[in-house]
Structure 1
Amino acid sequence: MKTALIACRTGMGSSMMLKIKVDQVIRENKFPIKAEHNTIDAVGQFKGDLLITMADLVPDLKNKVKYIIGIQNLMDKKEIKEKLEKFLADSN
């Protein structure tokens, strides 16, 4: 089981919407991922496998985690699925 952190600047609006969509994609596809939610301030303490955030935050965070996914459209389950599949393929 992989662990993912879903984070944004404040941990309220966009990342909460993203977590809902990511959880739906994980369930629908039976991906072996457990998703957590927090602010980007928590990234430094995160010891999991994957950070999922908005695409515009990736440049600021890419050196702080093992693997990062930047999502352009928070409501696009197809984009989320494709990027999670790539992560799972890369992590095997």
Structure 2
Amino acid sequence: MLKIKLNQVIDEQGWDMEVEHSSLDELDSFDGPIVVTLSDVADDLKNEGIKKEVVGITNILDKKEIETKVGAALDKIGAK
């Protein structure tokens, strides 16, 4: 569901990015700069010191939250 909503926001905002869905086990091989996940998982990843920008989403149905948080991450990495 998060991937669907994220893709909707990306299309609405005209962001040039691709979404990949995977398990946490495959995160080491992921070469993208941003990881978007649920808030509790994001907190765990940040505590582990992941070397990517981690975005935690509380309400996966809230496109405004997704837009705001992913937009801020894109600004932070200079990709917007």
TM value normalised by structure 1: 0.77
Greater helix share, 1 or 2?
A: 2
Task: Mark the runs of 5 or more structure 1 residues left unpaired by the alignment.
Answer: 1-16
SS in 2 for 1:33: coil
Equivalent residue for 1:83?
69
Question: Do residues 52 (structure 1) and 39 (structure 2) align?
Answer: no
Percent identity over paired residues: 39
Asked whether the 8 Å contact 1:43–1:65 carries over to 2, the reply is no
Counting matched residue pairs gives: 76
Matches within 5 A, 1:1-92: 17-62=1-46, 63-92=49-78
SS in 2 for 1:35: coil
| CA positional deviation for 1:59 | 2.3
1:4-45 C-alpha deviation (Å, 9 max, x unpaired): xxxxxxxxxxxxx00000000000110121110011111111
- For 1:75 and 1:65, the matched residues in 2 are separated by 27
Greater strand share, 1 or 2?
A: 1
Structure 1 moving runs of 4+ over 4 Å: none
TM value normalised by structure 2: 0.88
Q: Which stretch of the first structure deviates more once superposed, 71-80 or 58-67? A: 58-67
